[in-house]
Amino acid sequence: MKILLIEWVDSSVTGGWRNKREIRAKPASCYSVGMALIANEEVITLVLSGSGDDEYADTMTIPKVAIKRIRELKVKDARQ
C-alpha cells in the first residue's frame, strides 16, 4: 500500500460568545498520514494499522472535494 500525506480542509468551530472580528471565518487546515486502503472518484480512505489477515484498524475517509494536496511518502527500510 502507498503511504500518503494528505492536506485537506474541514469545518471549523468557534465556541462561546465572540465579537465578529474574533470569529475564525475560514476552514481548518488538516494533515493526515496513513496507508491508502481505498481510493476512488469520491474518497480516499487511510488506515493506520493492518494485519496479515486483511483486517484494519483506525481508518479515516476523506472526501476528495476536501483534499487540497496529496503527497506519496517513500519509506526506506530501517533494516538496510
Per residue in 44-78, pLDDT (tens digit) is: 999 999 998 889 999 999 999 999 999 999 988 76
- pLDDT score at 22: 86
- pLDDT score at 52: 82
- pLDDT score at 42: 98
Three-class SS state of 15: coil
Q: Is residue 78, in this structure, part of any structural domain at all?
A: no
Q: Is residue 44, in this structure, part of any structural domain at all?
A: yes
Distance CA 20, CA 18 (A): 6
Q: Is residue 80, in this structure, part of any structural domain at all?
A: no
φ and ψ of 64, to 5 deg: -60, -30
Q: Is residue 63, in this structure, part of any structural domain at all?
A: yes
How many domains does the structure of the chain reveal?
Answer: 1
- Listing DSSP states for 20-71 in one string gives GGGS--SPEEEEEEEEEEEE-SSEEEEEEEE-TTS-EEEEEEEEGGGEEEEE
Domain range for 32 is: 3-73
Query: What pTM does this model have?
Result: 0.82
